[in-house]
Structure 1
Amino acid sequence: MRIVGTREDLLAGAKKCLAERGLARTTVRDIVAASGTNLAAINYHFGTRDQLLNQAMLESTGESVTRVLDSLPDDDDLDTGERLTTFWRKLIESFGADRAVWSANVESMAQALHSPELRTEIGAAQVRARAGLSEALGDNDPRIGAIVQTLIGGLLAQALIDPDNTPTAEELTAGIQALAALSNPTP
């Protein structure tokens, strides 16, 4: 049995509200209802609604980076194409299974445009993710992590907005391979 405290309940409620309602439409009453706490608890633990929501967004960003890195295959015997396809498949599945985490993450990225604190923290998380992606895909070249991370952002947007038309893992891997071939034409 897991015992959760009021602070954790507030954060869980705030993340749920971010995923379901977005920042602009989330009120303190929504958070209180989702967390099963009371209004005074927000002030006691976080000071303000915005500070609570900022913390929830930071945690959501951390959770999404973990989901990305957890999607990387453990099998070192796979060739690069198979590793990429396995990665994309697990990540796309995560978008559906953990929709709340990913929705809150998108909300966090949008809010980072207006919050230096969020921008700094999310930027640091992105650097960690790029390094982890490069290493896990068999090369420490940071350009690989940068490209894959960039693709993840677009793939996430597509998966959240129109999941039925999200590219498959196989399509993504084949597209990357085709793009690489275009980049290095043989004479």
Structure 2
Amino acid sequence: MGHKEQLLEGAKRCLAEKGYARTTARDIVAASGTNLASIGYHYGSKEALLNAAMVAVVADFTDQVLSSHPRPADATPVEAFQTLFAGLLASFPEAREALNSSIEAYNGAAHSPELRAQLAEAHELARRGLAAEILGVPEDQLEERHVRTLGSLMMALYPGVMVQFLVDPDRAPSAEELVEGLRTLCRNAP
């Protein structure tokens, strides 16, 4: 593994242990076994490295959830939604620091056009991936309207449930409650 990869892994560890705002360049160097000059050479700045690490942490977390809670082959979209959110909620306790770091990163995006651009690209990929997961179709076979509608709905719900868990884990909604809420909404739609 080269210095660039070591830095990224070290930054990911720092995000989990210290959070986005409290991680220093020296922390990353210590966690990665590299040197300060490597950060500038490979990433340009500590912030750019942390931004790349944050995107990687979110992608790793999502991949872990999807692989440990796979969509049942014969699941309806509602059943796939419930399976996905049950997996997310089950994974939240062990990922608390990474979740907190992602909230910090969103706050940082207000002051960083680069981070905002990285998060926007990650969100577009997530909308597509989540819509494909719920519908049970390959990403390249999705209709764009499903990416914009279902994928966007999933991206709206995920951070909201995450924040509810971080603030009050005992009263965060369950996957079953989310499904019931969606059904109530659809039943009462004009």
Please say if residues 7 and 45 of structure 1, whose CA atoms lie closer than 8 Å, have aligned partners that are also in contact: yes
Q: Which residue of 2 aligns with 1:161?
A: 167
Alignment of 1:74-153 (within 5 A): 74-138=71-135, 140=143, 141=146, 142-153=148-159
Q: Which residue of 1 aligns with 2:184?
A: 178
CA RMSD after TM alignment: 2.6
Instruction: Kindly state the Cα deviation for residue 151 of structure 1 after the two structures are TM-superposed.
Output: 0.6
Alignment of 1:29-40 (within 5 A): 29-40=26-37
Please say if residues 63 and 101 of structure 1, whose CA atoms lie closer than 8 Å, have aligned partners that are also in contact: no
Instruction: Kindly state the Cα deviation for residue 67 of structure 1 after the two structures are TM-superposed.
Output: 4.8
Give aligned pairs, total: 181
Instruction: Kindly state the Cα deviation for residue 146 of structure 1 after the two structures are TM-superposed.
Output: 1.4
Q: Distance in 2 between matches of 1:40 and 1:127?
A: 33
Q: Which residue of 2 aligns with 1:46?
A: 43
Name the TM-score, length of structure 1 as normaliser. Answer: 0.79
Q: Distance in 2 between matches of 1:101 and 1:25?
A: 13
Distance of aligned partners of 1:183 and 1:51 in 2 relative to their CA distance in 1, 3 Å threshold: same
Residues 144-184 of structure 1: CA deviation (Å, up to 9, x unaligned): 22112201010111223332322111111111111221224
Identity %: 42
Please say if residues 66 and 84 of structure 2, whose CA atoms lie closer than 8 Å, have aligned partners that are also in contact: no
Please say if residues 72 and 83 of structure 1, whose CA atoms lie closer than 8 Å, have aligned partners that are also in contact: no
Q: Distance in 2 between matches of 1:94 and 1:52?
A: 25
Structure 2: runs of 5 or more not aligned: 136-141
Tell me whether 1:13 sits opposite 2:10 in the alignment: yes
Partner SS for 1:25: coil
Partner SS for 2:149: helix
Please say if residues 57 and 107 of structure 1, whose CA atoms lie closer than 8 Å, have aligned partners that are also in contact: no
Residues 4-53 of structure 1: CA deviation (Å, up to 9, x unaligned): 33322222222222333333322222222322333333334334322322
Distance of aligned partners of 1:119 and 1:65 in 2 relative to their CA distance in 1, 3 Å threshold: farther
